[in-house]
């Protein structure tokens, strides 16, 4: 097809959902365009191998500019570049966030996105192997499972957490998030279950869907105030126009979508003029409002051989190949604890990721022995960053600044997070197998030391969001995700979140795309606030 009704840019978490749902109607023609290639590599399929994709051809391999509040360190931002996008690279942790996250979206101007509005779309997406209940559904495309083979160290963490006063919760996606629990994961039969597995593959045989891989979109083609297609550019610089008779849907992710808007002349006018890009719509919010979840690693040696150390050896590999069980089914983070860093907060602001493994420097730093890692993660950060173009070249990486730890509140919460991690590690039954504290380390003692440690070691948990936010007067998108000031163009991915939810962002992105598909089909009544788009 050189033209289609809808052209979707990006076969990631959101793009795969849209490709499936829109082609349910055989009369609707869709082309899905993906810059990356296929998703067959073992590092995609084997859960514990996800970090092996970093800095490879499956990764856009972004990084921030020197961060002023983190000692001018550049923070790593991996993004999936294959069918499935970041859902083919992520750690598979299935977390929805809290009802109050979505009620906040609505208060921020995203009419129609309150918890009551979005809950049915989480359920529509879900097939939970625990079965249907008040809070969960079966029959949806996204397979959600319990971890198959959690390490014994993980049970020790859960028991120690309970002894320091963090209650056990059976279902952090249920009525109560606060507490500690084993994770649920987007896997099926011990293998990653990406958005491509869940949504794209079942639709591939439909004649009204075309998928183009290895196709880099350079910009959106505009005719006056209407988007009429996208321009693809190959390695030699040759361009091809792909026409969209109804709409162009940008699902290129929270870095890619604002970048593409700006390359198409939609963004802050002064910034675009500075790069000699003709301004089509002056939209100062494009690329602004960047949010992510910062975390620090606290790591101890383990005197018990109960970790993921050696998971890549022949025996566990054979176990995974033959039985789809064993340590290679691990998502590295095997348990959570959601806690409040101080009294008076309406919900948990810290999410501990517990890994029965040495996970330092995004998995890049090697360690020869058993260890465990607690990653207190700030899930309601106040700091905001931005994305700007580095040049008008569509293949150039954009300039990213997150301003991580700019807000003192964010730093204070993470300092409390480190202190509580130490308390848990000093409590039985994990205390008796705790060896040397590797991070923060024995020389990090008082609050000032811990603050310094956090600034030196903080990283981002791979959840960039909010860079084309919906709702609100100066928002880029109206609540139906249409780009304000233009016709025929929507953004549908993690960039639309007005505020990052309190948990990992894959399930919320899939929910957004499920609801967006219904908006496109006219199945959702238009909320009053969207009328003046």
* Number of residue whose CB is nearest ligand FAD: 12
Query: Following CA atoms 34, 36, 42, 45 in sequence, which dihedral angle do they give, to the nearest 10 degrees?
Result: -30
If binding is defined by CB under 6 A, does position 14 make contact with ligand FAD?
yes
Smallest distance, Å, CB 9 to ligand FAD?
5
If binding is defined by CB under 6 A, does position 32 make contact with ligand FAD?
no
- Burial readout 57-95 (b: 16 or more C-beta within 10 A, e: otherwise): ebbbbbebeebebbeebebbbbbbbbbbbbbbbbbbbbb
Smallest distance, Å, CB 177 to ligand FAD?
14
Smallest distance, Å, CB 126 to ligand FAD?
13
- Which of these segments, 168-176, 295-303, 322-330, 498-506, binds ligand FAD (CB under 6 A)? 498-506
Binding mask 187-216 for ligand FAD (x = CB under 6 A): -----------------------------x
**Three-state secondary-structure class, residue 455:** helix
Smallest distance, Å, CB 427 to ligand FAD?
26
Q: Is 463 marked active-site? A: yes
When the beta carbons of 341 and 509 are compared against ligand FAD, the nearer one is 509
Q: Please, are residues 230 and 242 in contact by the beta-carbon 8 Å criterion?
A: yes
User: Of these, 18, 22, 31, 217, which contacts ligand FAD (CB under 6 A)?
Assistant: 217
User: Of these, 5, 10, 248, 297, which contacts ligand FAD (CB under 6 A)?
Assistant: 10
What are the beta bridge partners of residue 378? Answer: 350
Phi, psi of 262 (to 5 degrees): -65, -40
* Number of residues forming the site for ligand FAD (CB under 6 A): 41
If binding is defined by CB under 6 A, does position 101 make contact with ligand FAD?
no
- Which of these segments, 73-81, 117-125, 140-148, 428-436, binds ligand FAD (CB under 6 A)? 73-81
If binding is defined by CB under 6 A, does position 222 make contact with ligand FAD?
no
If binding is defined by CB under 6 A, does position 483 make contact with ligand FAD?
no
If binding is defined by CB under 6 A, does position 20 make contact with ligand FAD?
no
Phi, psi of 254 (to 5 degrees): -70, -15
Smallest distance, Å, CB 156 to ligand FAD?
22
User: Of these, 19, 31, 32, 36, which contacts ligand FAD (CB under 6 A)?
Assistant: 36
C-alpha R_g of the chain: 22
Q: Please, are residues 495 and 511 in contact by the beta-carbon 8 Å criterion?
A: no
**Sign of the Cα pseudo-torsion (363, 45, 172, 508, in order):** positive
What are the residues whose beta carbons fall under 8 Å from the beta carbon of 531, sequence distance 6 or more? none
When the beta carbons of 259 and 427 are compared against ligand FAD, the nearer one is 259
**For the residues of 389-452, what is the DSSP string, one character each?**
-S-S-TTSPPEEE--TT-SHHHHHHHHHHHHHHHHHHTSTTTGGGEEEEEETTTT--SHHHHHH
User: Of these, 19, 28, 70, 91, which contacts ligand FAD (CB under 6 A)?
Assistant: 91
If binding is defined by CB under 6 A, does position 93 make contact with ligand FAD?
yes
Category of 321 on φ-ψ map: left (φ > 0), alpha (ψ -120 to 50) or beta: alpha
CB atoms within 10 A of CB 363: 15
Q: Choosing from 127, 353, 370, 463, which is the catalytic residue?
A: 463
When the beta carbons of 60 and 439 are compared against ligand FAD, the nearer one is 60
What are the residues whose beta carbons fall under 8 Å from the beta carbon of 33, sequence distance 6 or more? 7, 8, 9, 10, 11, 212, 215, 217, 230, 232, 242
Distance of alpha carbon 227 from alpha carbon 148, whole angstroms? 47
Active site (catalytic) residues: 463
Residues interacting with ligand FAD, by CB under 6 A? 9-15, 33-36, 78-81, 85-87, 89-93, 95, 216-217, 251-254, 256, 260, 462-463, 493-494, 504-507, 509
């Amino acid at each position: 097809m050189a033209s289609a009704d809808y052209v979707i840019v990006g076969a990631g978490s959101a793009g795969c959902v849209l490709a499936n749902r829109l082609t349910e109607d055989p009369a609707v023609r869709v082309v899905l365009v993906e810059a990356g290639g296929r998703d067959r590599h073992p590092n995609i399929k084997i859960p514990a191998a996800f970090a092996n994709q970093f800095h490879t051809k499956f990764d856009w391999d972004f990084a921030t500019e020197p961060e002023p509040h983190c000692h001018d360190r550049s923070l790593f931002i991996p993004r999936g570049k294959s069918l499935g996008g970041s859902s083919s690279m992520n750690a598979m942790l299935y977390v929805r966030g809290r009802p109050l996250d979505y009620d906040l979206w609505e208060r921020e101007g995203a009419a129609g996105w309150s918890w009551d509005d979005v809950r049915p779309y989480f359920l529509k997406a879900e097939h939970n192997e625990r079965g249907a209940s008040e809070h969960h559904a079966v029959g949806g495309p996204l397979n959600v499972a319990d971890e198959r083979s959690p390490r014994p160290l993980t049970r020790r963490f859960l028991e120690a957490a309970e002894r320091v006063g963090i209650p056990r919760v059976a279902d952090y996606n249920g009525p109560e998030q606060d507490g500690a629990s084993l994770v649920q994961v987007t896997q099926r039969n011990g293998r990653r279950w990406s958005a491509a597995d869940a949504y794209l593959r079942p639709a591939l045989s439909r004649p009204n869907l075309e998928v183009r891989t290895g196709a880099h979109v350079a910009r959106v083609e505009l005719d006056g105030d209407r988007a009429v297609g996208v321009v693809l550019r190959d390695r030699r610089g040759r361009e091809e126009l792909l026409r969209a008779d109804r709409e162009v849907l940008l699902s290129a992710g929270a870095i890619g979508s604002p970048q593409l808007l700006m390359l198409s002349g939609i963004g802050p006018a002064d910034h675009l003029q500075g790069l000699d890009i003709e301004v089509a719509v002056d939209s100062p919010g494009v690329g602004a409002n960047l949010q992510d979840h910062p975390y620090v690693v606290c790591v101890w040696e383990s005197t018990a051989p109960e970790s993921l150390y050696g998971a890549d050896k022949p025996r566990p590999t054979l176990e995974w190949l033959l039985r789809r069980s064993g340590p290679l089914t691990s998502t590295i983070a095997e348990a959570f604890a959601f806690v409040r860093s101080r009294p008076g907060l309406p919900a948990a602001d810290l999410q501990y990721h517990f890994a029965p493994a040495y996970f330092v420097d995004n998995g890049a730093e090697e360690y020869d022995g058993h260890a465990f890692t607690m990653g207190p993660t700030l899930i309601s950060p106040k700091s905001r960053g931005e994305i700007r173009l580095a040049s008008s070249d569509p293949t150039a990486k954009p300039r990213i600044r997150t301003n991580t730890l700019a807000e003192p509140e964010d730093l204070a919460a993470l300092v409390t997070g480190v202190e509580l991690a130490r308390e848990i590690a000093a409590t039985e039954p994990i205390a008796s197998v705790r060896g040397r504290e590797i991070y923060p380390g024995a020389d990090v003692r008082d609050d000032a030391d811990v603050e310094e440690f956090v600034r030196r070691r903080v990283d981002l948990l791979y959840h960039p969001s909010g860079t084309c936010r919906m709702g609100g007067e100066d928002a880029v998108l109206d609540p139906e995700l249409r780009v304000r000031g233009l016709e025929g163009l929507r953004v549908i991915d993690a960039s639309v979140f007005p505020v990052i939810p309190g948990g990992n962002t894959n399930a919320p992105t899939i929910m957004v795309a499920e609801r967006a598909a219904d908006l496109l089909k006219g199945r959702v009544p238009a909320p009053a606030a969207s009328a003046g788009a």
